[in-house]
Each structure stands twice: as C-alpha cells, then as structure tokens.
Structure 1
C-alpha cells in the first residue's frame, strides 16, 4: 500500500474537518430548532390548558363576580375549627383563583384564635397572623372556641388578674378594628372576654355583632362573680357609647347583667338563650330577673327583633308607670335589686318577638313591662305547665318561691293590651288547655296570619290506619282562646296536629270572613271544616263562610274525603247550586248550650272588608299530600273545575 503524500493527508484532513464543522452546525441548528419546538410545545400546552379551562362556565365569570361568589362561600364556618379553611381552599384551586383570593381582604376577615392566644402578652398563632396580614387592616371577625375539658383552656389566676388590670396587653388590642366577636368558652375565658369589652380604653366604632356562649353553663356563678367580686371594675356607665355601631347581640347562658352596658343606638337584634338545667339547690336565678333585661332594653331603644330561646326573664317586679326616667341611670338598678317596682320600657321599634319555652301567663307580663305598639310578628312556643311543672315567673321553682312570697300575685284586673299592628301570630303548644290563658288579655285587631301547631311529636301521625289521630288534643273554641275571636282581616289560617270538633268548625270560620288560604297539617276534623266551607247562605246562595277562600292545603289528614272537597270546589267555582247536599249546621256546644253571638262593638278598623253583595272568590289551588282517602285520580279530577292540583301519596312516616 502506497503511503499518502503530505499534501494528500492535508487535503483529507481538511475535508473531514469541514464535514465535522458542517455536522456541528447542523447539530446546533437542530438544537435551536428543538429548543424552539420545546418552547412552542410549552406555549401550546399553556394555551390548551387555558382553552380547556374555558370549557367550564366558572371560568367565564369576571374577577368581580368571582369575588362576590367567594365572599358568599365564606359566610358560613365551623366555630370549633382552628382556622377558616374556605378562603385557604379557594386560594389553592389555581393561580387565577389564588391571585383573586389574595387580592381581596374581605375573604380573610375571619380570624380564629386559640386558647394560648388569650394569655396576657402572648403572640398570636402564625395562621391568625397570616389572616390579619391578608386582611390589610380592614375590620376583622374574631372567632374563639375553648372547651373547658381541654387543659389548654385553663388560665392561671395570676395571668387572669393581670389581664383584668391591663387590657392593653390583651390580644384584641393588637388586632385590626373588630367587626364581630363569636366567643364560646367556659367561665375563665368568658370573664377574660367580658373584662376586655368593659375596660377597653377606646370605643369599638366598627363592632357590629357580639355572640357569646358559655359552655357548661355556670351563669349564676359568672354573674355573682362579676357583680360582687369585681364591683369596681364591672360598673355600667349609663351615658357611655362604647358600641355605637353594634347591631346584633346573641348570648347563651350569659347574664345580661354581665354585658357591658351604655347606650346602644344601633342595636337591632337581641337573642337570649338559656340551657335547661336541673332545678336543685343552691341554684340562684337572680341573673334572670326582669330588671337586667329591662335595663338592657332601655339602652337599646331602636331594637327591632327580640328572640328568647328556652325561657325568659323572671317577672319578680311590678311595673310603675310613674317611676322617674332617670331610674335606669342608677348603678343600683343593675347591682342591687332593692326595689319592688320598675318603670316600663317602651319598645317603639320592636317588630318581631320570638319566644320558646314561655309560660302561658308570661306573655301579658312581658307586654306590660315592654309595650310594643308596632309589633308585627309574634312567634311563641308555650311550655305545658302540667307536664313540665314550669313556674310562672321563670325556669327555677326555688328562686320563684322566694320571689313570689314577697311579691303580690298577678292581679286579675290587669288591663287588656292591644297589639294594633300585629299581622302574624304563630303559636306552638303541647295541649289545647295551654291555649286558654295566654291571649285572654290581648287583642289583635289587624291579624292577617294565624298558625296554631301542636309541638308534641309523640302525638304525631304514625301512618295510615294507625288510629293515632284519636290521641290528638282538641282545639278549643275560638272564644276560649282569644278575648275577641273576630278576625276580620285574617287571610291565612294554619292548623297542625289538633282535632277540630264538628260543632266548633262553623263558628271558627264565621269569625274569619277574609280568609284566603286554609292549611291543615295532620288535623283530625278536616271534614268538619270542609262541611262548613260547603255550606250555603239561605235564599241568596253562595258560600256561607270564608267567601274569599282561594287555596286549600291538606297534609296527612286521615279523615278528609273527596266528596266534601269536591263540593267545596264546585260551590265556590260556580258549578253547584246552593240546594245540593246540605251540610251539618251545628248551633250548640256538646253540652247542648246554645252559642250566643258576640255583642257588636264599634272598634275602629275592624269592620269586615267583605260585603254581602261581593262576588265569591274561586278555589285556584288545592294541595293534597299524604291523605289516604283521596286518590290521585280524584284529586286530578278537580282540574276540570279550573283548579291547580298538587298531589303526593301518603308516606309511612311523614315529617
């Protein structure tokens, strides 16, 4: 083999080097192209994800609307949790939602505190710090829940006393302005909370809501401790406006005498809840005395809604209309009950009163102490004193015994009170006898909606053919329930879990000439009501009772038959002559005594709005739910008379 000459070698090396250079340039170009492709792929992937996201309607919404949805999502929360988890979850959905969530301070308004956070000069947790930072100085809602069974919730007495003297070291003094406080704790923490509210050097201009719950109630102990042991600290200045924006107050087992008083011009709603307890000595019920509720309401002249749950105040003092207006400004009115008479507290702006666990005779006492001329809604649930041995003046018979021994018994000559603007009256009880006392000294000339319900669930219907209707209590005559049974403006009547006697039905309906909607829920005696509605006026024809009736609702009524229901519809819709199928016209009570008509009175504004010449209204709606005697075919047949029908079959265990 011949050896290449040096020139040939140089030429060959140059050719190979050139090829390598070309390949390297090609490789670089391919690398650049590959990087470009990778970038294009990444861009296209991002566009694809965006397009995929746009397939869901939630991503079509603008950020402003998403913020409104997020705010609604954070309205509810778990008070026993350690953090408000909803805004955290919203911020973890995607980058867009995170940016929106972090940009809206109102989503981070709720700050949860731990038991350790309430220790004097203690730094709050990192989670609470993050929420405070993201709220950006806007008003916050403080939530605290400390269970007495948790060892961490117990404060040493030295730290508690230190906090009582120096509120500047309290955790609340380090937070942004407060919008609301929701506080659930035992005795020690509740003292801490109430101390801060009372002794804060500055007012709370942004505070709108306070919700205090004493866990494992020791209400009397808390009240006595604050009133006696800390009398110089827990004073209640009358003229102070410490809470100018406070709108809602809700307390459970916390005495009103423990709350920081002063003028509350913006307060609109007050809710008081009492947990049932065993009435055994040495229980003290002085924290429930009427004087504490009266003084608190005297500080809130613009209150619109009052809720009393499972009981109310002890009416141990009489009303003195001549008492001076400066009575409530005296500190002794809160600390020492040394009087037997107190001035009434007019509630000019009160619109709604809800009261559960009320004694049947306490309603008149309440309106004597707190006149409410503009009350529009009264929702009251009476306790059966025969079954529960409930005392007249409060939930504790021992305390009542000591009170009533020195207080004159309620007089039988107390004046009749008129609630001239009451439109809605809802009543719950467990027997018909309970209804015979509460309203005999009250008048409701403008009543439009009346609901009377039996709250004893043990008497509820157990199913078709169960014969449980025989245990339903009898609904008393209207004259036995109301002082003036005439209800010329009543448009809606609801009856639940009662027996309506045949001889009482026509009389009751005769007092309701403007009735438009009749609703019966698990009622025995619906046939008597329908028979009265099917009665005609002599000689002139047309319905004899309730000529404006347009809707009938029947829920789980066992004795109702289709024939009577059809007669009512045909009569009122113009398809039946008045001479057809006469119905019973009882005119006496079971003992044979004739029912005498009420004496006519010239009460202004109570005349019947319906004249004899007006046209009868037509039945436009009939709802039949769970009535075994009315089949679907029968109910649907009413549609040919121009009626809208809703029918549901009976269930084994109706709600």
Structure 2
C-alpha cells in the first residue's frame, strides 16, 4: 500500500479549511439574517398584540357598560353584592350555586382586576349547611384583606342536630382569627345547642368584638326545647365574674360598646353582656305566640320582668320592634310609680317603669287591646315619636288565652293598679291596625296624644263576611271620640283610613273632619261610602269674616269651606263606590279664586233657599230665632269638650265649626283660613271603577297640579 506524502495531505487540508471558512462565513451570515428575521417577527408580534388590544378596547367602547369609570364599577359591584347579601349571597343556576363576587370576577379581565382589587366585595360571606366550604370561606377572608366582615350562617330544617353543631363549631373555629374585623353577625340555627356555642364565643372576654355593629341570633324552629341547654334559660351573664372583671379593665368594655342593632328570635334574654347593650339603637324581639302556657322546664317563657331588666340596660335605644310577642306579665307597677295605691294582696312583683329617654319608635304586632295599655304602662318614653300597633281580636272561644299572658281572669284584675291614662307628650305618628271594630275603640282609649300629626287606621279583619255579589262587608268607621280619649286633633296633618265603611249617619263626616282644622292630606284605601266623607269636604259656608257692628252697612258675603281649610292632597286606592262627581265637587269648592261673590244677589237670611248661605254668629244650639236657624243650616254641631291643658284662657268663638289650631292666634285668623282655603294640588286615584282616566285628567283644568290615575 502506497502512503500519501505529507505535502499532499497538507494540500488537502488547506482546501478543506478554505471550504470550512466559506461555510462558517455563510452560516454566520445566515445566523445574522435569522436574527434579523426574529427581531422582525418579534416586532410584528408586539405590534400585532398592541393592535389586538386596541381592537378589543375599541370594540368594548361600543358597549355602554364599559363607558363607566372604575370607581363607578366598584360601587355597582359592591351594591350588587349587598343586595344579594340581604337574603342570601348564593343563587342557584341549573343546580349549581354561585356567589356574586365569584360571578363578577369571571366576566372579563377588567372586571376580575377590579373585583380582586376591591376588598369590600369579598367582605360579605354567607355560609349554608348544604354548601358550606371552608376553603371558599378562607378565600373570601383573604381577599377581603382589611375590610370589615359581614358574616351570615343559616341552617336548613332538614339538617340533623349533630351535623349542625359540628358545622357551627368548625365555623366558629375558623372565625376566631377574624373576630376584630366582624361588623355584622347573623346566626340562624335550628338547635339551641348551636346558639349556645355562639353565645359562649360572644361572652368570652378574650374575643374583642370591637367592630361589631349588628347581631342577629335566631332559632328557626318555633318554641324550641332547651333540654340540653338549660343554662340559657336561667343564665345571666351580667353577673359572670369574667365579664365583671373585663368591665374593670376598661379596654374590653370600650371594645364591646359598638353594637347598634340587635335581633333575638326565640333566644332567651339576658345572655349577652351589658357591653353589647350600652350603645344599642335598634332592638327586635321575635317570639312566636303559643296556644297555651308552656309547663315544661325546658321551654322558655318571655316574662315582663326580663323585658324590663333588659330594656333598663339599653339607655340609648331608639327603635323597639316586638314581632308576634306578648310577654307573660309576672310583675306589676310599684307603689311609687305614678301615685298608684298600694296592693298587699297581689302575688306579682312590684317594679318601677323603665325610662327610655331616646326611644322614638315602637312597632308591636299580635297584642290584644288590653295588652297594649298594660305593657306601655311599664315604659316611660317621653320622646316617643311613632307608635305602630297591629292588634289582634280576642277569640270568643279562647278566653283562657289571657291566663298564660299573666292575667288572672278574662279581664285584667283591679289589683294590678295600672295608671288610668298614659301620656305620650311627643308622639306624632300613630298607626293602628285592628281586626274588626271592637279592638279599634279599645286599644288607645287610655292614651293621650297632645301633638299627634299623623294617624293611620286600618282594618285587617280577614274573616269579613261576604255579601251577595262577592262584596265584602267592612266595619263602620267608629266615632273619633270612641277611638281616642280626646278627639280634638289641632296638629293633625295626615289621615289615612283603610278598609272601613263611612257611616251614612248625618253629621258623622263632620264629626271626623271637624276635629282636624289643619289637615293637609287625606288617604282612603279600599273604603266604602267615601262619598259621605267627601260631602263634608264639599260643604261651603257663606258669611262675613266677623259680625258687623250695629248701624254699619252689611258687607257682601264671602264663600268658604266648612272643614279642613288647609287640605291639599287626596288619595283613593280601591274605593269602588267612589264617584267622580264627588271628587269634582270637592275640587270646585276649593280650587277657585278667593274673591267676594259680587255676582250673587243678596237674599233674605231666613229664606228656605238661602239657609246654607246665612251668616253664622254663634255656636249655641239653645238659642231662638236667627241663631237657631243658622245652626241648622251649618249642620251637626260638635259639642265643646274640656280644654286641653296646653291651652290658655278660652278664646271667643265666632264660628261653630272652627276649632283653632295651636298656630292660629285668633278665631279671626281661623275664619280667614276658612274663607281662603288651600287648593287641592295633589290627587291620586287607583283602581276606582267608577272614575275613568279622562274624568280624572280633566281635574288638571281646575288647577290640580299633580294628578295621577291608574287602573288595577
């Protein structure tokens, strides 16, 4: 084998190196070219991304929802969550439960960024036994960051007691770390055992609920048995040593004084420390009525003594709601309360009335007529402004119902020594809903309302008998003097009557409206024979403003209205016998220029055709001649009642139907108001079959500025 020479090999190597150099240069050139292409590709990619984003923004600008700034979106999201949270945050679609914050955060990228950056959106956390997820609760808590928490737990009726107790215990364990951030807390549990765990957490001095403003504790089963939670029936945390020690420390006491709203439903009272009650503004007590007195030791009976003790710890209370409850009266007013006579034979414990200087509103449903006076006798409420009562009618076959309410017979015993009259010096709004006519005439007869401005009387009798043709027989509206102790209402400006029939008795309408000299608004809801009442508003009087001295030339008479000269608003809802002619007559009698009737020819005062136009000079019904004739022309005379204590020396009265109000300085001004009545400017007519829309709208031609007619 011949070997190549070294020089030959070197030549080949030189050729290969030359070729390699060429390839390396070409590879570098290609690499440079590829780099440039990649840079071009990246530039094109970035430009494409920017243009795509711009396209999306431009396309989004076509939708009105995207015109809103982020601040507005935040407010909308929070409001949406709040509205949903009033009932239940979760809603179900195709069997799957969704929560408002989760749904909002999955709509689009912008909404998700806004949602995740809004802690308030995640501060309302709802737990249900059928969908409770600890992980979801921790996610909401983490995303809420420093926002105050609104927590709600509700159980279903089909959950077992052991499972409910386990869930509540687990939930409370998860909430311990976030106790300082809790603003509102709602627990609706099936068993008292679960509520006991919640109360223990609230009572524990180590847990400082410094931000707690609203607390709602509810047992969803009516009349629950406290067989396994006996301490809740007799436990009074006001005497607990740890709580008293916390009061002495000061910091804990100040941290527990933020509660403003409290709701207790079927939960025994006096289980919360008094730090929760010091600044309480609103209190709601809900206890379903029972058919008989509970005899079991494990049943809870709401006693009047507990209510008095509880209310005495709420000095700043402003709103009190008693929903379907009547306490068992186990106490009586003490001997030094209102000068009551001593009673050594009564077995009831004497107690003084509870003074609530800041209480403004009382809303009470389910009491009987006798319960109202007895309960209100234990309260001293000098600043009460609104009283809303929904009174039940005592069943004729269940007189024993009074026994378990604390009465010893079918009527309150005389040994209770209740005050005969309870005064409400600041009450301005009275709403009374009664079942039938008898409760209406008995519930507030022992109360005085010297500055009453609004009255709403409603009949809620569901057992009204049906007449032929499907009509409902409504009770007759009682006389005002049979409802109120003093029917004179010199400050009343608003009157609402619901589901009553106006009495056809002559003068009854005058008897109602004649006591209301400054009435501004009259509303009639599903009332019958309303034409009789409108007839009183239509009646006119003609005469001079004041009697003429003897010898002077008599002035031409002026026309005025007989009652309610300040009336401006009329509302009719479901008054099926209302006729348009009655409304038109009232409007015509008031919406006219205040001028003297120069066109009318003077007539003889005693003539039969001019009895209604005779000048009125006196109020006596025992006179003779002209005075007696004029009294008959004016209609029914209202017998003068005793003077109110706030009135000074009696003023001389020129007109039999003018009852001067507190802001009428003389009877002359009262007469001027009658001859210059206010215009009817506001009329509402809804579901009145005899009044058509065309007729109603025609009232605008008579200076009715605000007229609305709607059908059913």
| TM-score, scaled to structure 1 | 0.80
Report the counterpart of residue 177 of structure 2 in structure 1: 174
Report the counterpart of residue 517 of structure 2 in structure 1: 513
SS for the counterpart of 1:257 is: coil
Change (3 A) 1:602 1:339: closer
Kindly indicate whether the alpha-carbon contact (under 8 Å) linking 1:428 and 1:452 is maintained by their aligned counterparts in 2.
Answer: yes
Kindly indicate whether the alpha-carbon contact (under 8 Å) linking 1:316 and 1:407 is maintained by their aligned counterparts in 2.
Answer: no
Report the counterpart of residue 526 of structure 1 in structure 2: 530
SS for the counterpart of 2:82 is: coil
Report the counterpart of residue 583 of structure 2 in structure 1: 565
Which residue among 346, 353, 358 is the counterpart of 2:367?
358
Deviates more, 1:372-381 or 1:84-93: 84-93
SS for the counterpart of 2:566 is: coil
In 2, distance between residues paired with 1:551 and 1:31? 81
Change (3 A) 1:190 1:564: same
Deviates more, 1:629-638 or 1:452-461: 452-461
Which residue among 288, 313, 317 is the counterpart of 1:275?
288
In the TM superposition, what are the counterparts of 1:481-520 in structure 2 within 5 Å?
A: 481-503=483-505, 504-520=508-524
In 1, distance between residues paired with 2:128 and 2:33? 66
Report the counterpart of residue 480 of structure 1 in structure 2: 482
In 1, distance between residues paired with 2:701 and 2:412? 66
Deviates more, 1:143-152 or 1:274-283: 274-283
Structure 1 unaligned segments of length 5 or more: list them.
Answer: 1-14, 119-123, 324-337, 588-593
In the TM superposition, what are the counterparts of 1:465-476 in structure 2 within 5 Å?
A: 466=469, 468-469=471-472, 471-476=473-478
Kindly indicate whether the alpha-carbon contact (under 8 Å) linking 1:384 and 1:390 is maintained by their aligned counterparts in 2.
Answer: no
Change (3 A) 1:115 1:259: farther
Change (3 A) 1:544 1:286: same
In 2, distance between residues paired with 1:216 and 1:569? 55
In 2, distance between residues paired with 1:46 and 1:169? 46
Change (3 A) 1:273 1:387: farther
Question: How far has the Cα of 1:290 moved from its partner?
Answer: 0.8
Question: How far has the Cα of 1:581 moved from its partner?
Answer: 12
Measured against aligned partners, the alpha-carbon deviations of 1:12-35 in whole angstroms (never above 9, x if no partner) come to xxx999999999998886666555
Question: How far has the Cα of 1:455 moved from its partner?
Answer: 1.8
In the TM superposition, what are the counterparts of 1:216-235 in structure 2 within 5 Å?
A: 216-219=221-224, 221=226, 225-227=230-232, 235=240
Change (3 A) 1:390 1:512: farther
In 2, distance between residues paired with 1:21 and 1:441? 110
Deviates more, 1:598-607 or 1:187-196: 598-607
Deviates more, 1:300-309 or 1:197-206: 197-206
Kindly indicate whether the alpha-carbon contact (under 8 Å) linking 2:325 and 2:365 is maintained by their aligned counterparts in 1.
Answer: yes
Change (3 A) 1:345 1:310: same
Report the counterpart of residue 326 of structure 1 in structure 2: none
1:256 and 2:256 are equivalent in the alignment: no
Tell me how large the CA RMSD over aligned residues is: 4.3
In 2, distance between residues paired with 1:495 and 1:95? 55
Change (3 A) 1:172 1:532: same
Measured against aligned partners, the alpha-carbon deviations of 1:117-176 in whole angstroms (never above 9, x if no partner) come to 99xxxxx8111111222222443222212335313753679x99xx8xxx9994442324
| TM-score, scaled to structure 2 | 0.74
In 2, distance between residues paired with 1:428 and 1:388? 22
Which residue among 331, 334, 354 is the counterpart of 1:317?
331
Question: How far has the Cα of 1:97 moved from its partner?
Answer: 2.4
Kindly indicate whether the alpha-carbon contact (under 8 Å) linking 1:105 and 1:138 is maintained by their aligned counterparts in 2.
Answer: yes
In 2, distance between residues paired with 1:269 and 1:193? 21
SS for the counterpart of 1:612 is: helix
SS for the counterpart of 1:643 is: coil
Deviates more, 1:246-255 or 1:594-603: 594-603
In the TM superposition, what are the counterparts of 1:505-654 in structure 2 within 5 Å?
A: 505-539=509-543, 540-574=558-592, 597-604=639-646, 608=661, 609-610=663-664, 611-614=670-673, 615-644=676-705, 646-648=707-709, 650-651=711-712
In 1, distance between residues paired with 2:700 and 2:233? 72
In 1, distance between residues paired with 2:322 and 2:224? 16
Deviates more, 1:303-312 or 1:232-241: 232-241
Change (3 A) 1:308 1:580: farther
Report the counterpart of residue 424 of structure 1 in structure 2: 429
1:193 and 2:211 are equivalent in the alignment: no
Structure 2 unaligned segments of length 5 or more: list them.
Answer: 1-21, 92-96, 248-252, 338-346, 544-557, 601-608, 614-620, 622-635, 648-658, 665-669
Deviates more, 1:91-100 or 1:491-500: 91-100
Kindly indicate whether the alpha-carbon contact (under 8 Å) linking 1:562 and 1:630 is maintained by their aligned counterparts in 2.
Answer: yes
